[in-house]
């Protein structure tokens, strides 16, 4: 008998009828021969309503008391769901996070799970109960209630699944929600978006972190780290949803599986930073120490001993970021410019590792739409661009209830980002059926589960639990050195729509595979654009670039650099664990290795250093991440 973890989001338990429907699904899974765990969120808009109640009392309520308040939402849901199951004639028992032993750190409202005790849980399962667990909550080591951050019930579900798996059971996790699965993009913005049948963990991580919004990205990190197969599916139907699984060969044939939009970000640019070892480390360790999650980082090559570092943070953390960096910026003799609201549009696909011309197609679509790009970064399987947004209009413009006002605001948000998203979705023909999205792909089928390997010996059980300790610690899976790449850098590229497209068109028509791309705005109306290509292609890439630049503006220059080494740290949680960049830059700084370019994504941080120091950099990063 295997274990099925079923998670029901707020909309899927919003009233009695939905609770009964969730209970029926759980019972059906049990009757199909599984042990069943149900994880539920607070009903409907309960969490929002509780936040509003707190706001009536205090503008800045203490985080501890907020957690005390917010955790009540899920407690209502578990009791009702257990009652519903009992009403339908099955045995059920509900548990709060505390009762089930979900231990977290003490960062209230953004707590991270440290371990889950599976004893009570497995006893209840083994005795034939459907176990109903409150999502989103845990308890810290002082015994205080904590919550995991908005949308955290997904994380609870996958973490519980991982814990049960480590206790020796065969597990799969179903995330029931109000959508049919994961789409090629947000179907509310792009109506012809297509449902995917399967997507890899890494693709999903890159999509989710960028606002695909279907799942909490930490839950996908867990699923990847502990190899838990996930399915996102609709709570209102029995149709299969989207499997989220390890990467399969056919996925590599698809240049782009989806595009995502993330609004609510702000861009900051640190200009005039001394180009010497350790500076990026100072900047990002200060942010990590303040627990500010940095999303995109783009450090350009720079000129005259000065570099520019562009990065984005959530709008809500903008003020804190400025305050945190102020003393440091002054000390470095640099300036920190805030450049306003931006939206991030990203293309994701495992195939872009090997298929040439993906960047070209993206930039072409954006140029045709007149979109100006404020920053570009690339990951292993992702290209992201920042699009500038106008500030949203004040809420007062809308009349009606809170939800109408909210909907109004939403519709005015990220206007340019939405437009860009539509253009890119069309450019990659993502509405067409393809393998893994409407057409058959050999894959992602789950064999019947094996019998559970129930761990009977208490010693084994303790060993399994020990492995859960610090379960949310970053998992850096590898460090890679690539000395086969060279770099082209364009200085003083006029910052107008279409220039990137022209450059990458010239490179792509030469059949040259572009790997890393970093673009930053470096001065008024000027951008610096760098990209790497295989070393053998450098002369051709440079010549082609210089040709286009002559037509764009004779004042801009392209230079080639063959003496570079690219290092990547790959893993999960690059963004949510603010410490990865800190460890990486810190280790390089300690060895006096200068970083001449930085590029980040959710599953990958890439840096460029001098070629002669590549091996040394690899060795020091291998050591820093204990991979030796």
Q: Provide the pairing of β-strand 258-274 with 335-348.
A: antiparallel
Binding-residue total with Mg ion (CB under 5 A) = 2
Give dist(CA 86, CA 93) in Å, integer.
9
364 binds ligand ASP (CB under 6 A): no
226 binds ligand ASP (CB under 6 A): no
Shortest Cβ distance from residue 45 to ligand ASP (Å)? 8
* Residue number, 41 or 599, with CB nearest to Mg ion: 41
Which region, judged by CB under 5 A, interacts with Mg ion, from 8-16, 103-111, 340-348, 465-473? 8-16
Which one of residues 10, 152, 357, 606 is an interface residue with Mg ion (CB under 5 A)? 10
Which region, judged by CB under 6 A, interacts with ligand ASP, from 146-154, 417-425, 429-437, 580-588? 146-154
Q: Are 343 and 262 in contact (CB under 8 A)?
A: yes
Closest CA to 227 of 212, 246, 241: 246
**Binding residues for ligand ASP restricted to 57-76, rule: CB under 6 A:** 73
Q: Which does 152 bind (CB under 5 to 8 A by kind): Mg ion, ligand ASP, none?
A: ligand ASP
Which position has the token pair 């783009």? 298
* Residue number, 151 or 357, with CB nearest to ligand ASP: 151
Q: Are 75 and 134 in contact (CB under 8 A)?
A: yes
205: exposed, middle or buried (Cβ count in 10 Å: 0-12, 13-18, 19+): buried
392: exposed, middle or buried (Cβ count in 10 Å: 0-12, 13-18, 19+): middle
Q: Which does 136 bind (CB under 5 to 8 A by kind): Mg ion, ligand ASP, none?
A: ligand ASP
Q: Which does 150 bind (CB under 5 to 8 A by kind): ligand ASP, Mg ion, none?
A: ligand ASP
Which one of residues 24, 110, 150, 408 is an interface residue with ligand ASP (CB under 6 A)? 150
Shortest Cβ distance from residue 259 to ligand ASP (Å)? 25
Give the Cβ contact number of residue 575 at 10 Å. 22
* Residue number, 219 or 594, with CB nearest to ligand ASP: 219
Give dist(CA 272, CA 257) in Å, integer.
38
135 binds ligand ASP (CB under 6 A): yes
153 binds ligand ASP (CB under 6 A): yes
Which region, judged by CB under 5 A, interacts with Mg ion, from 4-12, 102-110, 237-245, 340-348? 4-12
Shortest Cβ distance from residue 178 to ligand ASP (Å)? 12
Alpha-helical runs (H) found in 271-317:
279-289
8 binds ligand ASP (CB under 6 A): no
Shortest Cβ distance from residue 316 to ligand ASP (Å)? 15
Give dist(CA 14, CA 436) in Å, integer.
32
Shortest Cβ distance from residue 47 to Mg ion (Å)? 5
Binding-residue total with ligand ASP (CB under 6 A) = 12
* Residue number, 10 or 357, with CB nearest to ligand ASP: 10
Q: Which residues of 251-282 are buried (b: 16+ CB within 10 A; e: fewer)?
A: bbebbbbbbbbbbebbbbbbbbbebebbbbbb
Which region, judged by CB under 6 A, interacts with ligand ASP, from 23-31, 144-152, 199-207, 399-407? 144-152
Helix and strand numbers, DSSP H then E, in the chain: 17, 28
Cα 173 to its chain centre, rounded Å, is 19
Residue nearest to Mg ion (CB): 10
Shortest Cβ distance from residue 42 to ligand ASP (Å)? 4
595: exposed, middle or buried (Cβ count in 10 Å: 0-12, 13-18, 19+): buried
Q: Are 133 and 71 in contact (CB under 8 A)?
A: no
Which one of residues 136, 284, 363, 531 is an interface residue with ligand ASP (CB under 6 A)? 136
Shortest Cβ distance from residue 157 to ligand ASP (Å)? 9
151 binds ligand ASP (CB under 6 A): yes
Sketch the per residue contact string, 20 through 59, with ligand ASP: x for CB under 6 A, - otherwise: ---------------------xx----x------------
Which one of residues 6, 12, 34, 41 is an interface residue with Mg ion (CB under 5 A)? 41
Report helix, strand or coil for 91.
Answer: coil
Which one of residues 152, 357, 379, 571 is an interface residue with ligand ASP (CB under 6 A)? 152
Which region, judged by CB under 6 A, interacts with ligand ASP, from 147-155, 431-439, 453-461, 608-616? 147-155
Shortest Cβ distance from residue 54 to Mg ion (Å)? 16
97 binds ligand ASP (CB under 6 A): no
10 binds ligand ASP (CB under 6 A): yes
Own/partner pairs for 457-464, CB < 8 Å, 24+ apart?
Answer: 460/168, 461/118, 461/119, 461/167, 464/118, 464/166, 464/167, 464/168
Shortest Cβ distance from residue 517 to Mg ion (Å)? 36
Q: What pairs with residue 102 in β-bridges?
A: 116
Which region, judged by CB under 5 A, interacts with Mg ion, from 40-48, 120-128, 440-448, 579-587? 40-48
Shortest Cβ distance from residue 43 to ligand ASP (Å)? 9
Shortest Cβ distance from residue 176 to ligand ASP (Å)? 12
* Residue number, 34 or 43, with CB nearest to Mg ion: 43
Residue-wise DSSP of 218-252: HHHHHHHHHT--EEEEETT--S--EEEES--GGGG
Residue 581 C-beta-side C-alpha neighbours within 13 Å: 37
138 binds ligand ASP (CB under 6 A): no
The DSSP 8-state label assigned to residue 13 in this structure reads G
Q: Are 507 and 540 in contact (CB under 8 A)?
A: no
Number of residues written out for the chain = 628
Shortest Cβ distance from residue 152 to ligand ASP (Å)? 5
Q: Which does 146 bind (CB under 5 to 8 A by kind): Mg ion, ligand ASP, none?
A: none
- SS3 readout for 410-477: HHHCCHHHHHHHHHHHHHCCCCCCEECEEECCCCCCCCCCCCCCCCCCHHHHHHHHHHHCCCCCCEEE
- SS3 readout for 20-85: HHHHHHHHHHHHCCCEEEEEECCCCCHHHHHHHHHHHHCCCCCHHHHHHHHHHHHHHHHHHHHHHH
Shortest Cβ distance from residue 156 to ligand ASP (Å)? 8
Can you give the binding site for Mg ion, defined by CB under 5 A? 10, 41
Residues of this chain that interact with ligand ASP (CB under 6 A) are 9-10, 41-42, 47, 73, 135-136, 150-153
């Amino acid at each position: 008998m295997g274990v099925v973890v079923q998670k029901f989001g707020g909309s899927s338990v919003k009233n009695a009828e939905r609770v009964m429907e969730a209970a029926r699904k759980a019972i059906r899974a049990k009757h199909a021969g599984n042990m069943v765990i149900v994880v539920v969120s607070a009903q409907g808009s309960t969490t929002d309503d509780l936040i509003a109640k707190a706001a009536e009392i205090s503008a800045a309520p203490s985080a501890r008391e907020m957690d005390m308040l917010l955790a009540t939402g899920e407690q209502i849901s578990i009791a009702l769901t257990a009652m519903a199951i009992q009403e339908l004639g099955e045995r059920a028992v509900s548990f709060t996070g505390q009762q089930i032993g979900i231990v977290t750190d003490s960062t209230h409202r953004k707590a991270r799970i440290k371990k889950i005790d599976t004893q009570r849980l497995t006893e209840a399962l083994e005795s034939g109960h459907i176990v109903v667990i409150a999502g989103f909550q845990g308890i810290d080591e002082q015994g205080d209630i904590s919550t995991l951050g908005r949308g955290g019930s997904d994380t609870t579900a996958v973490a519980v699944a991982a814990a049960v798996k480590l206790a020796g059971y065969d597990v799969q996790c179903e995330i029931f929600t109000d959508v049919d699965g994961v789409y090629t993009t947000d179907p509310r913005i792009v109506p012809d978006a297509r449902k995917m049948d399967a997507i890899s963990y890494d693709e999903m991580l890159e999509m989710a972190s960028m606002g695909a919004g279907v799942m909490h990205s930490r839950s996908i990190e867990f699923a990847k780290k502990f190899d838990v197969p996930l399915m996102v599916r609709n709570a209102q139907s029995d149709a299969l949803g989207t499997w989220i699984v390890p990467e399969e060969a056919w996925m590599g044939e698809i240049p782009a599986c989806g595009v995502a939009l993330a609004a609510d970000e702000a861009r900051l640019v640190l200009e005039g930073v001394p180009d010497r070892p350790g500076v990026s480390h100072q900047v990002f360790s200060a942010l990590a120490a303040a627990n500010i999650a940095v999303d995109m980082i783009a450090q350009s090559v720079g000129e005259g001993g000065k570099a520019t570092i562009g990065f984005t943070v959530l709008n809500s953390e903008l003020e804190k970021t400025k305050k945190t960096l102020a003393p440091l910026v002054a000390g470095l003799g640099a300036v920190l410019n805030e450049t306003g609201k931006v939206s991030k549009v990203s293309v994701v696909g495992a195939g872009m590792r090997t298929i040439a011309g993906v960047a070209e197609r993206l930039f072409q679509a954006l140029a045709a739409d007149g979109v100006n790009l404020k920053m570009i970064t690339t990951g292993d399987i992702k290209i992201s661009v920042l699009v500038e947004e106008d500030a949203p209009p004040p809420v007062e413009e809308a009349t009606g209830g809170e939800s109408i006002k909210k909907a109004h605001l939403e519709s005015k948000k990220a206007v340019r980002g939405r437009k860009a998203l539509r253009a890119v979705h069309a450019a990659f023909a993502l509405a067409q059926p393809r393998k893994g999205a409407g057409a058959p792909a050999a894959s992602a089928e789950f064999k019947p589960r094996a019998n559970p390997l129930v761990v009977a010996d208490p010693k084994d059980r303790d060993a399994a639990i020990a492995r859960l300790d610090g379960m949310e610690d970053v998992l850096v899976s590898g460090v890679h050195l690539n000395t086969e790449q060279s770099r082209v850098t364009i200085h003083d590229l006029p910052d107008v729509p279409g220039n990137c497209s022209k450059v990458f068109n010239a490179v792509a028509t030469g059949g040259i595979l572009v790997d890393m791309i970093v673009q930053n705005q470096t001065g008024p109306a000027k951008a610096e654009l760098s990209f790497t290509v295989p070393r053998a292609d450098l002369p051709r890439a440079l010549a082609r670039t210089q040709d286009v630049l002559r037509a764009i503006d004779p004042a801009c220059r392209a230079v080639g650099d063959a003496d570079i080494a690219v290092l990547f740290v790959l893993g999960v949680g690059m963004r949510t664990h603010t410490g990865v960049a800190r460890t990486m830059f810190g280790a390089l700084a300690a060895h006096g290795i200068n970083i001449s370019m930085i590029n980040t994504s959710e599953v990958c941080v890439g840096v460029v250093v001098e070629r002669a120091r590549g091996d040394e950099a690899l060795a020091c990063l291998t050591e820093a991440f204990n991979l030796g």
